[in-house]
Amino acid sequence: MLIKLLKYEFRSTSRTFGLVYLIMMVLCTLTGLLDQASELLSAYSSIFVTLLMVTALFFFGAVVITTVLNIGRFQKGVFGDEGYLLHTLPVHVWEIIASKLIAALVWTLGTVLVMGLSLFVMILASSAISLSNVGFFFRSLIQFVSAADPTVLTQFLLSIGLMLAMLITLILQVYASISLGHLFPSHRTAWAVVIFFLLNMIQDFFFKLTVFRLTPTIYADPSGLLSFSYAFGEINMAVNELSPLTPSVFLFYLAAGALLWLCSQLVLSKRLNLE
């Protein structure tokens, strides 16, 4: 049933995301071409600058659209009118949460990927680099990866895994906030926002309490101002050895994600009140 839920989850949003991705690619291609043209004819310069600004704004807009759609799909699909259909389908609660989570994850990563791809197309279209240079870049990258220390590669993969774990936890935090906000008789959206920030504070507190305690000799922070970015700083620093922090941060987000999932699961299975 999860596959079937995913099918309708993607269908409901693919048109919007497809359009956003298409506009992003077209804008970047045009911007790149105008950059090239403005070098030949200065009259194009002002159009190029305007288009560049529009593109930058649209990139920002794409992030907003992705966030709003992902949140809306959960809020409306689970607790709105569409919930009357969703909760009467013969599916388990975990399948509902999983389908929403997977779709949100795919669309978020999709937006990031298309952004990167669009920028790449813009650079190509502007002739800042040629196709032969691109080929050279990828050949060099492959050579670098194959020659690299396996520890570095492991660290790289771990950091990718860590970023995914953080993203999944963030999405589950949004879901848990909306679900817990649903427990209130009124002003549910406002409560969801308050709960989101409360959950953030709780997570932050336990992060400092657990993760840095696990690795005190390396990461003792007298100022108490350690933040999540330390984890990434550490990953960047690691060259020849595995970061001792990455696995603990990864485990922390895994545990936090599991608890947040449990919050949504309990509300949907034990406290659902569609009014």
Partner 1 sequence: MDSFKHPVLQCRGLNKSYGRHHVIKDLDLELSPGRIVGLVGPNGAGKTTLIKLICSLLTAQSGQILIGGHPVGAGSKALVSYLPERTYLADWMKVADALELFADFYADFDREKALDMLARLSVDPKARFKTLSKGTREKVQLVLVMSRKALLYVLDEPIGGVDPAARDYILSTILTNYNEEGTILISTHLISDVETVLDEAIFLKDGQIVLHKSVDEIRQEEGKSVDELFREVFKC
CA angle 108, 109, 112 (to 5 degrees): 90
Choices 10-18, 124-132, 157-165, 227-235; region in contact with partner 1 by CB under 8 A? 10-18
Beta-carbon contacts of 39 under 8 Å, excluding residues fewer than 6 positions away, are: none
Pattern of binders to partner 1 over 11-40, x per CB under 8 A? xx--x-------------------------
Binding flag, residue 271, partner 1 (CB under 8 A): yes
Choices 21-29, 76-84, 154-162, 236-244; region in contact with partner 1 by CB under 8 A? 76-84
- Report the residue from 23, 67, 87, 163 that binds partner 1 according to the rule CB under 8 A: 87
Polymer length in residues for the chain: 275
- The least distance separating partner 1 from the CB of residue 10, rounded to whole angstroms, comes to 12
Beta-carbon contacts of 182 under 8 Å, excluding residues fewer than 6 positions away, are: 79, 188, 192, 267, 271, 272, 273
CA 83 to chain centre: 25
CB nearer partner 1, residue 3 or residue 40 = 3
Binding flag, residue 146, partner 1 (CB under 8 A): no
Count the alpha carbons within 13 Å of 168 in the hemisphere toward its beta carbon.
22
Binding flag, residue 273, partner 1 (CB under 8 A): yes
Please give the residue ranges that form the binding site for partner 1 (CB under 8 A): 1, 4, 7-8, 11-12, 15, 81-85, 87-92, 185, 270-274
